[in-house]
Amino acid sequence: MSAKKSSTSLPPTAQKRLAPFIERGIANGIFKDASPVVTMFNNKANDPTLKETVDSLGGMASEVAQAFLTDIVLTDLTSILRQKRYTAHVQVWSVSHNTVGAASGNPRPVCNIFGQAVVEDGDDVMDNAMFSMSLWDEDAAIGDDVERDGIYEVSVSCRNLDAPTLDLRPLTGLTQFHEEEYEHQSAIELLKDTYEVTPIAELEDDVSKGRNDYRLIEATVSYAGVQNSRAGNQFGKLLLKDESTMTLDAIESGESLMLNALCSTDIATRFGKYSKILALITTKVQGEYGLSANITMALPVILVAPIEAKVAKVETKEDDAADYFSKQSAQVINLDDDDDDEEGDSDAPEATESVEATPTPSEPVEAPEEASDDDDEDEEDIDLSALPVKALKAMAKAAGVDGYSSMKKGDLVSALSDDEEVEESATPAEAPAASTNDDFVDGEDEEWDDWD
* 175: confidence class by pLDDT, cuts 50, 70, 90: confident
pLDDT, tens digit, for every residue of 145-174? 999 999 999 989 998 999 889 999 998 777
φ, ψ of residue 50 in degrees (nearest 5):
-105, -5
pTM of the model: 0.56
Looking at per-residue pLDDT, the higher value among 135 and 373 belongs to 135
CATH class of 196-302: mainly beta
pLDDT, tens digit, for every residue of 95-124? 988 888 877 788 899 999 999 999 998 788
The three state secondary structure string of 317-381 is CCCCHHHHHHHHHHCCCCCCCCCCCCCCCCCCCCHHHHHHHCCCCCCCCHHHHHHHHHHHHHHHH
With contact defined as beta carbons under 8 Å apart, do 8 and 40 qualify?
A: no
**What is the rounded average pLDDT of the residues 229-233?**
74
Domain 87-189 has CATH 2.40.50: yes
Element (H, E) at 179: strand 178-179
Tell me the C-alpha to C-alpha distance, in Å, between residue 428 and each of 27, 287, 413, 431.
124, 107, 25, 5
| Lowest-confidence segment of 161-175, 347-361, 393-407 by average pLDDT | 347-361
Query: Which residues are 221's β-sheet partners?
Result: 240
Strand pairing category for 290-302 and 259-263: parallel
Interatomic CA distance for residues 375 and 58, integer angstroms: 98
Looking at per-residue pLDDT, the higher value among 99 and 263 belongs to 263
Interatomic CA distance for residues 112 and 205, integer angstroms: 28
pLDDT, tens digit, for every residue of 17-62? 999 999 988 887 777 888 889 988 988 898 888 999 999 999 999 9
Looking at per-residue pLDDT, the higher value among 90 and 339 belongs to 90
In this chain, the answer to whether the domains covering 87-189 and 196-302 adopt an identical fold is yes
Winning range, highest mean pLDDT, from 246-260, 302-316, 373-387? 246-260
Helix/strand/coil percent split, the chain, to 5: 40, 25, 40
CA nearest to 131, candidates 197, 190, 171: 190
Quote the pLDDT of residue 64: 94
Query: Which residues are 130's β-sheet partners?
Result: 116, 165
Query: Which residues are 235's β-sheet partners?
Result: 227
Strand pairing category for 129-136 and 165-170: parallel
Q: Is the pLDDT of residue 343 over 90?
A: no
Interatomic CA distance for residues 277 and 300, integer angstroms: 5
Interatomic CA distance for residues 155 and 40, integer angstroms: 14
Q: Is the pLDDT of residue 6 over 80?
A: no
Looking at per-residue pLDDT, the higher value among 274 and 436 belongs to 274
Domain boundaries, the chain: 3-81, 87-189, 196-302, 383-452
